[in-house]
């Protein structure tokens, strides 16, 4: 497959095509960037007119093509299964899992540049991939890393805004407050107030997005150090890449923790557009709200226990299992505790997904990381036992469409192993990562001129009358 297939002027983009075997044994064609093209903004400026024409042609020639039928169940069930959003940066298949611009997670781990040989992909490389559809070279990733470092200084008023909150405020509340405080520097707002032409909206959005992506690790680290480390802030280390520097500012300099942070930020970045945080950002941005306002809204959705806050709930639940059953629990004891949780009207956190119908590939790659770096960790071994115990029970329950573990089932145990034990903070890490996916799509929302999102809503009476007529 050629990513961004409509980018036909390959000689003009000076890309080279490389044959890359994928995991299934088939051949995938990857667009690999040449080393000399290190200006991400210039690449987008060259690509956007072609993508605008592609969208225009699609709308003109196929605008009336039906994509399926909407049922009452979909209307009443949170719009599950409705195809209703354009989201270029990733696509989620119920059986296969997430693909970033056509690349699965294992493929990303193979082809995206890493900090160390055989290591985890650098988040900067995924950002380049999401924005351009092409696999960057190490030189391009290094250049983007330096650019993000040059944009990373956070204004003092942001920290003062956070400091106005009590330290007991939830970390996500403090993080979202910091992002809102960043908004005063919005280039998009300034350009819009001056009367910028709509064809140029993407350019100040690009500036805001890269600034936001660059600055959120420092804001997130400040929140962590403020709440849990007595306010002792650790300065940025500009010699480190994005993920490693974030780990450093949090206070963790173990190379394995830095590798975990690179993996964590990469795999949590994007999960197509229908999840709460991504959809919220897209919806708010469709009103021409700038990336800061849009991303802050996304964070507030991410903070819900049915979305990003689940990673907090998983570790707390796992620790409650150990507290009640002991370190050497039997399989029967574990089954009993799972049933106890379900019978109390609660869910087993970390299992199930709104779209996926198999084990989340993000869970699988974290499991492989654990097998490589912490195979003897007791909580990891418990997670492995849960993989064998929980799905059969949920299947027996008969109400769960997907009994398999999702991304949240594993991440907290990995973080806990390396010393980041404060579960209430985990969703902030998710938020830092999600900035990469959300902002990449926001740039393309502006470039393609996507309209104000305004779906039609109906009342129960309207549905009842419609169904009577249709009967």
Cα dist. 296→24, 435, 464 in Å? 39, 10, 37
Give me the long-range contacts of 206-211 (CB less than 8 A, separation at least 24). Answer: 206/41, 206/44, 206/443, 208/290, 208/291, 208/292, 209/291, 209/439, 209/440, 209/442, 209/443, 210/147, 210/148, 210/151, 210/439, 211/151, 211/182, 211/185, 211/187
Cα dist. 316→91, 174, 320, 322, 379 in Å? 31, 21, 6, 10, 12
Active-site residue identified among 307, 410, 417, 445? 307
Tokens encoding 423: 């579960």
Phi, psi of 72 (to 5 degrees): -60, -40
DSSP state letter for 355: S
Q: Give catalytic status of residue 417 as yes or no.
A: no
Neighbour count for residue 240 (Cβ, 10 Å): 18
Neighbour count for residue 138 (Cβ, 10 Å): 14
Q: How far is Cα 425 from Cα 448, in angstroms, rounded to an integer?
A: 36
The tally of CA atoms less than 13 A away on the side-chain side of residue 339 is 10
Closest CA to 393 of 364, 356, 351, 361: 351
What is the CA 113 to chain-centroid distance, rounded? Answer: 19
Q: How far is Cα 244 from Cα 248, in angstroms, rounded to an integer?
A: 6
Question: Is-contact 194 210, C-beta < 8 A?
Answer: no
For the chain, the maximum distance between any two Cα atoms, rounded to a whole number of angstroms, is 68
Q: Give catalytic status of residue 248 as yes or no.
A: no
Closest CA to 224 of 416, 417, 424, 435: 424
Active-site residue identified among 248, 279, 282, 353? 353
Question: Is-contact 325 337, C-beta < 8 A?
Answer: yes
DSSP state letter for 165: S
Q: Give catalytic status of residue 41 as yes or no.
A: no
Q: How far is Cα 297 from Cα 63, in angstroms, rounded to an integer?
A: 30
Tokens encoding 347: 């869910």
Dihedral (CA of 194, 198, 204, 205) sign: positive
Q: How far is Cα 180 from Cα 359, in angstroms, rounded to an integer?
A: 35
Q: What is the DSSP string of 74-136?
A: HHHTTTTT-------SEEEETTTEEEETTEEHHHHHHHS-BSSTT-PBPHHHHHHHHHHSSBP
Active-site residue identified among 170, 408, 417, 445? 408
Active-site residue set: 307, 353, 408
């Amino acid at each position: 497959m050629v990513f961004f297939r409509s980018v036909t002027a390959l000689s003009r983009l000076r890309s080279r095509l490389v044959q890359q075997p994928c995991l299934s044994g088939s051949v995938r064609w990857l667009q690999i960037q040449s080393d000399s093209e290190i200006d991400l903004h210039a690449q987008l400026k060259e690509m956007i007119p072609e993508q605008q024409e592609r969208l225009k042609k699609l709308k003109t020639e196929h605008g009336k093509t039906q994509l399926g039928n909407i049922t009452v169940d979909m209307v009443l069930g949170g719009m599950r299964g409705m195809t209703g959003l354009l989201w270029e940066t990733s696509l989620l298949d119920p059986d296969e899992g997430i693909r970033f611009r056509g690349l699965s997670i294992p493929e990303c781990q193979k082809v995206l540049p890493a900090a160390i040989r055989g290591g985890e992909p650098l988040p900067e490389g995924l950002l380049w991939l999401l924005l351009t559809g092409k696999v960057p070279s190490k030189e391009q990733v290094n250049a983007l890393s330096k650019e993000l470092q040059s944009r990373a200084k956070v204004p003092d008023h942001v920290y003062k805004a956070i400091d106005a909150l009590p330290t007991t405020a939830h970390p996500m509340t403090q993080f979202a407050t910091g992002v809102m405080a960043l908004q005063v520097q919005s280039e998009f707002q300034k350009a819009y107030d001056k009367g910028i032409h709509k064809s140029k909206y993407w350019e100040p959005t690009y500036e805001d997005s890269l600034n936001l992506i660059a600055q959120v690790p420092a804001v997130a680290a400040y929140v962590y150090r403020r709440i849990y480390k007595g306010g002792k802030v650790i300065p940025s280390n500009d010699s480190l890449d994005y993920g490693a520097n974030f780990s450093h500012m949090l206070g963790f300099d173990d190379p394995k923790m830095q590798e975990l942070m690179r993996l964590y930020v990469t795999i949590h970045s994007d999960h197509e557009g229908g999840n709460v945080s991504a959809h919220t950002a897209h919806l708010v941005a469709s009103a021409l709200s700038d990336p800061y306002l849009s991303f802050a809204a996304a964070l507030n959705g991410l903070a819900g226990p049915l979305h990003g806050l689940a990673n907090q709930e998983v570790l707390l639940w796992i620790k409650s299992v150990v507290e009640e059953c002991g370190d050497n629990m039997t399989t029967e004891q574990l089954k009993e505790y799972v049933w106890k949780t379900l019978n109390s009207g609660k869910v087993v956190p970390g299992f199930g997904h709104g779209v996926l119908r198999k084990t989340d590939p993000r869970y699988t790659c974290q499991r492989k990381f654990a097998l490589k770096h912490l195979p003897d960790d007791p909580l990891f071994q418990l997670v492995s036992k849960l993989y064998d115990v929980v799905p059969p029970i949920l299947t027996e329950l008969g109400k769960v469409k997907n009994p398999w573990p999702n991304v949240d089932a594993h991440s907290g145990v990995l973080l806990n192993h390396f010393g980041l034990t404060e579960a209430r903070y985990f969703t902030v890490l998710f938020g830092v990562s999600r900035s990469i996916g959300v902002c990449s799509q926001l740039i393309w929302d502006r470039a393609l001129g996507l309209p104000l999102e305004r779906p039609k809503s109906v009342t129960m009476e309207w549905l009842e009358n419609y169904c009577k007529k249709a009967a």
